[in-house]
Amino acid sequence: MAKSVANLSDVATLAKVSKSTVSRVLNNKLGKGFSVTPEVKERILKVIEELNYKPNLIAQDLTKQRTRMISVLGGAHALSDLGNIYQTVLNNITNILDSAPGGFDVIVDMSHHPDGSSEIPAWRIDGAIVLARCSDETFEELEQRNVPYVVVNGTGRAKGASVVPDDIQGMKLAVEHLVKLGHKRIAYASAPLGHLIGHSSIEERHQTYLAEIKKLGLAVLDGHDKLFTSAEDYLKSVIYQNKATGIIAYGHMNALNIMQAAHFLGISIPQRLSLIAFCDKGATDIMSPGLTFMDLQSKQMGEIAANLLLDMIKETDCERKQVKIQEQLVFRDTTSSPEN
Amino acid sequence: MAKSVANLSDVATLAKVSKSTVSRVLNNKLGKGFSVTPEVKERILKVIEELNYKPNLIAQDLTKQRTRMISVLGGAHALSDLGNIYQTVLNNITNILDSAPGGFDVIVDMSHHPDGSSEIPAWRIDGAIVLARCSDETFEELEQRNVPYVVVNGTGRAKGASVVPDDIQGMKLAVEHLVKLGHKRIAYASAPLGHLIGHSSIEERHQTYLAEIKKLGLAVLDGHDKLFTSAEDYLKSVIYQNKATGIIAYGHMNALNIMQAAHFLGISIPQRLSLIAFCDKGATDIMSPGLTFMDLQSKQMGEIAANLLLDMIKETDCERKQVKIQEQLVFRDTTSSPEN
DNA sequence: TCACTAGGTCCTGTCAAAAGG
DNA sequence: CCCTTTTGACAGGACCTAGTG
């Protein structure tokens, strides 16, 4: 099935014109000192139709030095965790880049590049979005090749912009929410094992919990500094021994586990225990009752990241911005005043 | 920042050899009637190192008529539903294609192509994996361009291969499981709203439920033919009015909702109600107690799909295979003999 | 045979220039 | 000489066949 696809020359030959004329007609360069007789235009379009000719994108990319492809890196975690924020982020990034003038193809690279070997085809893409993080080599590559990139929920190198949620402000709000409801004994359920190690959210939420609780003269309860493993053990320690009435959970998976364990142990939510977690709306859909949560604003994060990237692609000498997004409390059914 | 990247000519000039020689050294064509003095080779490699030269993939693609890119279509649902099987499918596809001789880049196209306009860069990829389905135009394009493709959990057109779970066999097994445990009143919870409309699984599971139940002389219970919306309403109807002791659920989301509603209504699982659903292991991780499920074998589906695709890429005249995968019962904690 | 190179090829986009009136 | 319509040559970067000394 040799060369089943027609190319520009084929069209030109059949339409009895030169390749340039065909090219011009296709790229509508009519205003710019170029014109065609309607007759010729018609003829060319007819041949194109007949041959079902489509310009070869690879050749086009080569001449234009531009691929209109944007790569999303770190797809591994974007797809692994259930209900994490990256799905929302990704959807919103895609929406915007898609409908940008000219249109960009958003591509999620799923290949598990062996650690240490950067294999992003950096010279094949016009820009990149990094979800939380990528390998050092990859960052190196992006920087060297001057590929515009934005890190979402994480930080990059010198030339990269970033969009992160303001976890310090968020944790303050979470603590404040519970305190206002009347809670005095507030615990923190830290990030579960397997979560991105070293991610800034882990440190920031934890430290801010400690700082706020101390500032308010409340008791720091056990368990905040342990990796979250068994929700049942955690509840036994925190509720039975430490008499907590409220828990702030690192993420939605903690919250889910806690809710299930609470059911099992007969601890009613929110009567006996108030629960709040950091996540986005999407994650709470799998839970009932409706979880009170600190909204990480993943939709906004995606939108802002996409627009930053577009700016950077448009003007190469754009300043590298670091955007911090305010988190927002969504008050639902898992928090209330303590029983007593 | 004009042309910050070096190309083959630059290397050739600096190493004082011709472009061909550089190309050959890079592509290790030494056996095939080509040779270099170690000295020259050394020199070239040094220059490459200095300039940090990397071949331009686009140009490479153009000459080789091959991109080593594989596109995954239908990424929209792969990322939307929580815990669906496509995540597992995708991971396994990626693993295999990644480590195939030569290595393929797996790319998930996330762009929401406006309905009706096929915009897959078919002439830019070496093959495609379709998750469940894609637009008619896209199928048309794949067929016309002779792009090898495999549909996972769905069927394609003439030239496409496919891998699907055997839902008929699976449903038979599910019914058999409950019957063996002693259940006589078995209900079916159909696909929820928003699920891929017209997907063969919907029809096959439903019809097989009806056929099997009738064959065994049992009662077909209400609700099997309605779209699944409120789990609470469903349980009230099926358990209270229809006295069901077992439910076979279309998918993990139904099962999750049913479990939560059962908790709420005080219906204990598995004592009062046995529950089984079609899904894969990944989805059950968010549930407790451990769900008994019909394993759709998503890992296998991915592996088989990837290997089929590799075969099709290797030999274009490969027959279009339609693989059906046997489902497997995983017996856990949500099914048991009925109380009475 | 060894060690290497010139120049055509893949395909499209663009510019200077030429043809036709 | 001007205006409109059309064209040939070349760039873009790597690969490969045929060929030189």
pLDDT value for B49: 95
Q: Spell out which residues of chain B touch residue A111, defining contact as CB-CB under 8 Å.
A: 94, 97-98, 105-106
pLDDT value for B115: 57
Size of interface A-B (CB pairs under 8 A): 114
* Nearest residue for D5, CA–C1': A36
pLDDT bracket for residue B325 (50, 70, 90): very high
**CA distance linking residue B95 with residue A199, whole number of Å:** 26
> What percent of chain B lies above the pLDDT cut of 70?
92
| C1’ C7 / CA B18, Å | 12
* Nearest residue for C5, CA–C1': B18
Task: Please state whether A193 falls in left (phi above 0), alpha (psi between -120 and 50) or beta.
Answer: beta
Which nucleotide is closest to the Cα of A7 by its C1'?
Answer: C11
* Nearest residue for C4, CA–C1': B21
B245: which DSSP letter?
S
User: B58 and A61 in contact by Cβ < 8 A?
Assistant: yes
- The type of residue at B89 is V
* A270 alpha-carbon distance from chain centroid: 31
**CA distance linking residue B229 with residue A230, whole number of Å:** 32
pLDDT value for B74: 83
User: A105 and B82 in contact by Cβ < 8 A?
Assistant: no
Q: Spell out which residues of chain B touch residue A286, defining contact as CB-CB under 8 Å.
A: 82, 253, 256, 286
Minimum Cα–Cα distance from A282: chain B residue: B82
In chain B, how long is the greatest CA-to-CA distance?
Answer: 90
Which nucleotide is closest to the Cα of A64 by its C1'?
Answer: C13
Q: Average pLDDT of B314-324? A: 87
pLDDT bracket for residue B87 (50, 70, 90): confident
Structure tokens at A104: 């960009």
Q: How would you classify the pairing of strands B69-73 and A69-73?
A: unpaired
Distances (CA, A) of A112 to A117, A336, B174: 10, 44, 36
pLDDT value for A205: 97
Q: For residue A254, with 0-12 CB atoms within 10 Å meaning exposed, 13-18 middle and 19 or more buried, which class applies?
A: buried
Question: Which strand (E) or helix (H) includes residue B156?
Answer: none
* Nearest residue for D6, CA–C1': A21
Distances (CA, A) of B90 to A131, B73, B86, B298: 18, 11, 6, 9
Q: For residue A329, with 0-12 CB atoms within 10 Å meaning exposed, 13-18 middle and 19 or more buried, which class applies?
A: middle
pLDDT value for B1: 35
Q: Spell out which residues of chain A touch residue B94, defining contact as CB-CB under 8 Å.
A: 110-112
User: B79 and A62 in contact by Cβ < 8 A?
Assistant: no
Contact (CB, 8 A) for A85 and A152 = no
Structure tokens at A51: 């041959």
User: B1 and A82 in contact by Cβ < 8 A?
Assistant: no
Please name every residue paired with B69 in a beta bridge, in sequence order, or none if there are none: B105
- The answer, yes or no, to whether residue B119 has pLDDT greater than 60, is no
Q: Could you check: is the Cβ of residue A28 within 7 Å of any atom of nucleic acid strand D? A: no
* Per-residue pLDDT reduced to its tens digit, A169-200: 999 999 999 999 999 999 999 988 766 777 89
Q: Average pLDDT of B284-293? A: 85
CA-CA-CA-CA torsion sign (A124, A128, A134, A140): positive
| C1’ C16 / CA A33, Å | 13
| C1’ C17 / CA A21, Å | 15
- The answer, yes or no, to whether residue B89 has pLDDT greater than 80, is yes
Residue of A58, A94, A264 with shortest CB distance to B61: A58
pLDDT value for A113: 62
Q: Average pLDDT of B321-338? A: 97
User: A121 and B57 in contact by Cβ < 8 A?
Assistant: yes
pLDDT value for B288: 73
- The answer, yes or no, to whether residue B40 has pLDDT greater than 90, is yes
User: A263 and B264 in contact by Cβ < 8 A?
Assistant: no
pLDDT value for A109: 76
Structure tokens at A266: 């007969």
CA B90, B207, B190 angle in degrees (round to 5)? 60
* Nearest residue for C11, CA–C1': A59
* Per-residue pLDDT reduced to its tens digit, B238-254: 999 999 999 999 999 89
Q: Which nucleotides of C are covered by protein (CB under 7 A)?
A: 2-7, 9-16
Contact (CB, 8 A) for B5 and A145 = yes
Using DSSP's 3-state secondary structure scheme, residue B142 falls into: helix
In angstroms, the separation between the Cα of residue A337 and the nearest Cα of chain B is 21
* Mean pLDDT across chain B: 89
CA A91, A97, A99 angle in degrees (round to 5)? 105
User: B111 and A91 in contact by Cβ < 8 A?
Assistant: no
In angstroms, the separation between the Cα of residue B140 and the nearest Cα of chain A is 12
Residue of B5, B83, B288 with shortest CB distance to A123: B5
- The answer for residues whose C-beta is within 8 angstroms of residue B260's C-beta and 6 or more apart is A287, A288, B231
What is the three-state SS of chain A? Answer: CCCCCCCHHHHHHHHCCCHHHHHHHHCCCCCCCCCCCHHHHHHHHHHHHHHCCCCCHHHHHHHHCCCCEEEEECHHHHHHCCCCCHHHHHHHHHHHHHCCCCCCEEEEECCCCCCCCCCCCHHHCCEEEEECCCCHHHHHHHHHCCCCEEEECCCCCCCCEEEEECHHHHHHHHHHHHHHHCCCCEEEECCECCCCCCCHHHHHHHHHHHHHHHHCCCCCCCCCCCCECCHHHHHHHHHHHCCCCEEEECCHHHHHHHHHHHHHHCCCCCCCCEEEEEECHHHHCCCCCCCEEEECCHHHHHHHHHHHHHHHHHCCCCCCCEEEECCEEECCCCCCCCCC
CA B89, B90, B91 angle in degrees (round to 5)? 95
Residues in chain B, how many? Answer: 340
Lowest mean pLDDT among A157-166, A283-292, B52-61, B277-286: A283-292
Q: Spell out which residues of chain A touch residue B147, defining contact as CB-CB under 8 Å.
A: none
Q: Which nucleotides of D are covered by protein (CB under 7 A)?
A: 4-9, 11-18
User: A87 and B98 in contact by Cβ < 8 A?
Assistant: no
**CA distance linking residue B86 with residue A124, whole number of Å:** 27
User: A110 and B109 in contact by Cβ < 8 A?
Assistant: no
In angstroms, the separation between the Cα of residue B123 and the nearest Cα of chain A is 7
CA A248, A251, A253 angle in degrees (round to 5)? 115
Residues in chain A, how many? Answer: 340
Q: What is the end-to-end Cα distance of chain A in Å, rounded? A: 79
Backbone angles phi and psi of A325, in degrees to 5: -105, 135
pLDDT value for A187: 98
- In terms of average pLDDT, the best of A252-256, B1-5, B55-59, B159-163 is B159-163
User: B58 and A75 in contact by Cβ < 8 A?
Assistant: no
Which nucleotide is closest to the Cα of A40 by its C1'?
Answer: D5
pLDDT value for A1: 35
B83: which DSSP letter?
T
Q: Spell out which residues of chain B touch residue A256, defining contact as CB-CB under 8 Å.
A: 286
Minimum Cα–Cα distance from A83: chain B residue: B82
Q: Give me the residues of chain A with pLDDT under 50, please.
A: 1-2, 116
CA A110, A113, A115 angle in degrees (round to 5)? 140
Structure tokens at B107: 């790319």
Residue whose token pair is 């710019």 = A32
Q: Spell out which residues of chain B touch residue A82, defining contact as CB-CB under 8 Å.
A: 82-83, 285-286
Backbone angles phi and psi of A153, in degrees to 5: 60, 50
Q: Spell out which residues of chain B touch residue A67, defining contact as CB-CB under 8 Å.
A: 58
**CA distance linking residue A244 with residue B179, whole number of Å:** 46
**CA distance linking residue B174 with residue A15, whole number of Å:** 63
* Nearest residue for D15, CA–C1': B63
* Per-residue pLDDT reduced to its tens digit, B130-150: 998 888 888 988 998 889 999
Distances (CA, A) of A330 to A170, A177, A273, A291: 11, 10, 17, 9
Backbone angles phi and psi of B188, in degrees to 5: -125, 130
Q: Spell out which residues of chain A touch residue B59, defining contact as CB-CB under 8 Å.
A: 62
